[in-house]
Chain A
Amino acid sequence: MTMISRRTLFKGAGAATLATLASPALAEDKVKVGFIFLGPIGDYGWTWAHNKGREAVEAELGDKVETIYVENVAEDASAIPVLRDLAQQGCKLIFTTSFGYMDQTLEVAAEFPDVKFEHCTGYKRSDNVATYNSRFHEGRAVLGTIAGKMTKSGVVGYLGSFKIPEVVLGVNSFALSAQKQNPAVVVKVLMIDSWFDPPKEAAATETLINLGCDLVTTHTDSPAPLQVLEQKGLFGFGQGADMSAFAPNAHLTAIEDIWGPYYIERTKAILEGTWTSTDTWDGMIDGEVVISPYSAAVTADAAAAADSVKAGYMDGSFNIFTGPIYDQDGVERVKAGEVMGLGDLATMDWFVKGVESAA
């Protein structure tokens, strides 16, 4: 580096002082890894899972790394100073763990070309911004299989947040899988325009139940729906983490987001100097999407069918998005034998046949 502007100098000086202030005994060769979280780490959902990933990094790499995190960071302009702060405190790698940090991540990344950023669930990259995501829909295929086997009414509910690709994929994967077990299954989708609103999630679950659903899966963040199902003696699934503690009887299984392996791999890349900007979309085969143990309520044939889907994803022989796939109006969107590519999946905005939704 030959050109050091006054500002960067200042920045460095400030960061050094701050670092000493924060942890006086910090050894210089430790690599600092930063995380910003959308919710509190105790939300038992999305943020909780990411924090588990952070802890896995510490456990695996021990004193080679130091991790720091900031929780409850709003998805607005206030994320920018937080990110800058992490960079100034000397973080070499920063994970931004929610979609809403996308543009903020790119903006701060442009100011700190030497710091690497990893943005979760986004689609914009640059030289020092990578993106990563999980193929949650593979997990949804397992849940859908169980649901298809276990529903008696043939109507299952899907409580969602917004009609974004991640949720659309989840709905479609769930519906297609359920229909494989029982072609007549109808999936009722209810979007509540929020990721976290326990009373609304609870009321929405009651609504779906009253409209005939005997099983409800959720794509919002709180365990509220499961607790309603528990009180009604019905079944559902955990989202993001094993939520069986909240609903021991209703909880059939859960999709667990396991971020640890990816976080460890990327931190190692920093340590070894091999980090490059990539777009990673890992799934079950990589251990990033894990199905919790089935509860006793899962019937033997449901468990067997679910296991075969799981095995299919583990050895790469199965993909639920294999044609023929029809949309809600019955139009064939994917021809028989064709498999939807990741690019198509990442922008999917239509529901498959058998899904009932408002607009």
Chain B
Amino acid sequence: MSQRPLNTPDPSKPFGGKDWDLEQAQRSIQEAMEVLGRYLHGKEKPLRLALICFFSRGHLLIEDLPGLGKTTLAIGLAKVLGLTFGRIQCTSDLLPTDITGLSIYNKTSGLFEFHPGPIFHNIILVDEINRATPKTQSALLEAMGEKQVTAEGRTMDLPQPFFVIATQNPAEQFGTFPLPESQMDRFMMKIRIGYPHREAELEILRGGSKRKELYSVEPVLSQEGVLRIQHFIRDGIIASEPILDYMMQIIEATRRSEFLTAGLSTRGALALLHTSRAHAFMNGRDYVLPEDVKAMALHAIPHRVFFREEYDHVDKKEIVRSLLEKVPVPA
């Protein structure tokens, strides 16, 4: 039997009621961006992408070197959105139960009590996911996909919203279990953070780390508001027929491309649609433009398709961009 975590509001409540205003939501997102911008110097773009990923109910894979602010980003997001935050530091001896939690015998009550693991949070940072064993990775990925956890015969829903930010270190390959491409598909986006630009980094050097202060940031949005936004993006953002047709053309182009051995899966296509919707929303529109699709394709496609070996070392975004340049936009 399934059970809703207590701190999760009902997401199926109709959106757009009197107490909910689209413009206000967009304003508060703007505000959240501004607040976070104070702590995350020069990371506006990854922050934006993370928000898009979050609002389109996907999960985010950040592939970058350590120390570039992945954790800060995750904590900041959780705080500013008024959500709970959990962190899993992956190691090769991490067990699935370390993630999901386990039942422990309570002497006083004489019962096994379930102690939820760190996955029972709204925003989870899974650090260095490629260091966990495949078994643990699978458990995590299953939880991400199904948004529920099965432990000791009990299936439990995870809190809503549920957002995983996984990080992967591309440089260190020794003793790791890199995520296979088929698993990558479960992440809605794969992004890089990159080094902050000079001014931003200088600012960081001047001011020092503000991680401590980040914990005391006042939330701009509530859990309920976040859920409503997610709901609105799914149902309220218009992706018109020409746009769907345009997407189909892009998807077919990936399947036909000479650079790729396998094109975009249907899950990938859905991811492209959802992220495009979120991108449109973030840009203050309630309809999707080809520009949204194109912007999101660069982040939603490269990690899901299989490149021919000879193109393995080419910048994959560039290949996708060249694919996009073969598809005329609809009008």
A, B co-complexed: no
A interface residues (Cβ-Cβ under 8 A, vs B): none
